[in-house]
Amino acid sequence: MSRELGCAEARDILRLATHELNDDQRAHLEHCARCREAHEANRSLTELGRELEWDEPDPERVEQLRTRLLARVPQTAAPAPARSSRRGAFMLAAALAASVALWFFWRAGTPALHAVHVTLHPGTGAVFEDSGAHADRVVHLKDGSLLTVVEKLEPGQRMRVVTEDAEVEVRGTSFDVTAEHDRLTRVWVLHGIVEVRVRGRAPIRLGQGERWSLEAETAANAGVAATASVAAKNADAPALASPGPAGVSSGAAGAARTSAGASPPATAIAATPAPHASEATGPAAPANSDDPAEAAFRKGWSALKAGDSAAAARAFAAAGSDKGSSVQEDASFWQAVALSRSEQKSAAIAAFRKFLTDYPSSPRRGEASALLGQLLLQSGETAAARERFLDAQKDPRPEVKRAGEVGAAESQSTKR
């Protein structure tokens, strides 16, 4: 038996104009002319809307909107403001963002997935917003550095750190991202693979040990890399090594030529605002084109970027076997990285240890210690891992130091 509804209770009728009404709603419309007129007007508008022509939205624009909404959905409810109108506006905005995000999931037919598990280690003064435990997790980094550790993702899961002008997406890894005034400035990958997508530029894939820096890319694109390298040499600092894409750092200092792919020495870091401002725009001619060590190094770098880590390890080993070669130190570091990427864990541990023994003053020492610490921790050697993480904390770069601090705490927790 239908019960009599008041107009306030019947407001849902206006939102159900195109759906089947229940008995109570139909009964109310029979004797309430005002609600009946509103209902019919709403139905007419709905029918007219269906007849309107529309263009399929640009997929890239849809993805940008979806990411922005996910980044702005609050993880937890904020304390109730003093005025109810502000509270209502906040709740409405949150509900709208969540509804639109869910609509995109429905349109794509995305099945229900478990939430992405992420551990965030912010640097001092870091400002960021975390969308929280979702299958598509977005962290909006506005200022400072954020070391992010992501567990292996399931198919369909996503994890991104975004700024106003870029995003960094991962596939189960740990990496450090730095932003200034909502602009991406640096990325360093400790483990796994990330893709850096800066608005208006081609995406860049970074693997373990690799870096990207906005200032390095800007300097390279402006054609000032050669000048910066000369300045570094005049400051009695060794030049860089290994060719690579603009803005990407991939090696240790110690070569007698300039190319993009290596991190500058500690002296260069201290003398410049950004660590990688002196990298070249791409493959540069080697100092000696007939040098077999340099040829092997280039072969290793090409194989590493192509994803053939095993071949890269063999090429870097050949390049590093030439005693006194300008690329020997770089080759030693990247051989260890390549072995780690090819899942040759024991060989990678041995290679990193050899690098640290052979080059105790290398500017890559802190990074090598952090990477080795992770391998040792995965192998159950917690005491040795902690020793390496403590060594990484001595590095002058805040992201390397923080990686050492996080690793040391994890090794201590595992030991207990």
Stretch 91-103: mean pLDDT:
51
DSSP assignment letter at 271: H
Does position 375 have pLDDT exceeding 60, yes or no? Answer: yes
Helix (H) or strand (E) holding 85: helix 84-108
Contacts of 214 (CB under 8 A, 6+ apart): 183, 184, 185, 186, 198, 247, 274
Give the confidence band of 24 by pLDDT, cuts at 50, 70, 90: confident
- The string of DSSP codes covering 182-233 is TEEEEEEEEES-EEEEETTS--EEE-TT-EEEHHHHHHHHTT-HHHHHHHHH
CB atoms within 10 A of CB 47: 11
Give the confidence band of 253 by pLDDT, cuts at 50, 70, 90: very low
* CA angle in degrees (0–180, nearest 5) for 408-250-142: 65
Does position 286 have pLDDT exceeding 50, yes or no? Answer: no
Q: Can you tell me whether residue 13 is helix, strand or coil?
A: helix
Name the amino acid, one letter, at 24: D
Phi, psi of 58 (to 5 degrees): -65, 125
Does position 242 have pLDDT exceeding 80, yes or no? Answer: no
Distance CA(413)–CA(416), nearest Å, equals 5
Beta bridge partners of 180: 183
Helix (H) or strand (E) holding 391: helix 382-392
Take residue 193 and report the two structure tokens written for it. 């693979």
* 315-345 per-position pLDDT tens digit: 999 999 888 788 999 999 999 999 999 999 9
Beta bridge partners of 118: 150
Q: Can you tell me whether residue 77 is helix, strand or coil?
A: coil
pLDDT at 269: 25
What is the crossing angle of helices 59-72 and 84-108, to 10°? 140
Does position 205 have pLDDT exceeding 50, yes or no? Answer: yes
The most confident of the ranges 2-6, 107-111, 161-165 is: 161-165
* CA angle in degrees (0–180, nearest 5) for 243-245-248: 95
- pLDDT averaged over every residue in the chain: 73
Phi, psi of 54 (to 5 degrees): -150, 150
Is the Cβ–Cβ distance between 257 and 241 less than 8 Å?
Answer: yes
User: Tokens 């995406």 identify what position?
Assistant: 203
pLDDT at 27: 79
Phi, psi of 160 (to 5 degrees): -135, 145
Is the Cβ–Cβ distance between 140 and 108 less than 8 Å?
Answer: no
CA distances from 154 to 107, 110, 113, 151 (A): 20, 13, 8, 9
